[in-house]
Amino acid sequence: MKTTESSSDQLKKWILDFLSKPNPAFDNLPPCPYAKKAWVEGHVKIKQFENFNKLDQDLIKFSYGTEEVIIYYFNGTALPTSNDLEKIAEKYNKRYRHLLFYDEHPDSIENVDGVQINSGVCALIVQDRKDLLEKRKELMKTNYYDNWTTEMKERIIER
């Protein structure tokens, strides 16, 4: 999704206009049922990725209770490939076990029952692992995951 809006604006729009809206593919829940509340309460931060040293400094200071999600978006001409970004997320998932890292890349299409859930931005999404696992547990009690393919469940849930 190429647009003239900034990556930060594009991510904000994705969170509020897509992830927060009920969708039949997710049992009429939003694709991310907790996104809007986290956004409104100021628990989501969007930052431009600068370098890995800065990323590590930020992650060491990750503030539980005030930060639930940090989205680091990549800008410029030297964006990581989908495969490279996936490897970065894997590496950081092993390094910071209390956090959960997702790769968000325009070339890595994620689809649930015909609904594409990608933002179109190249980004690394960081979440408090314990908080996310508690929320997943609640969603498991609904039909939220019924339309997810085995591949999607492996990619998103089984990290």
On whether residue 159 sits in a domain, the answer given is: no
In the chain, count of helices (H) and strands (E)?
6, 6
pLDDT in tens, 88-135: 999 999 999 999 999 999 998 899 999 999 999 999 999 999 989 999
On whether residue 127 sits in a domain, the answer given is: yes
> Is the confidence at residue 76, as pLDDT, over 90?
no
Among the residues of 62-125, which ranges form H helices? Answer: 82-95
Q: What is the pLDDT of residue 30?
A: 97
Question: Taking residues 9-25, what's their average pLDDT?
Answer: 96
On whether residue 19 sits in a domain, the answer given is: yes
Q: What is the pLDDT of residue 103?
A: 95
Query: Half-sphere exposure of 8 toward its Cβ, with a 13 Å CA cutoff?
Result: 7
On whether residue 42 sits in a domain, the answer given is: yes
Q: Which domain holds residue 97?
A: 7-154
Total number of domains in the chain: 1
On whether residue 34 sits in a domain, the answer given is: yes
On whether residue 68 sits in a domain, the answer given is: yes
Cα 140 to its chain centre, rounded Å, is 19
On whether residue 1 sits in a domain, the answer given is: no
What is the pLDDT confidence band of residue 159, given thresholds at 50, 70 and 90?
low
| Contact indicator for 74, 99 with CB cutoff of 8 Å | no
Among the residues of 35-149, which ranges form H helices? Answer: 35-40, 52-60, 82-95, 129-140
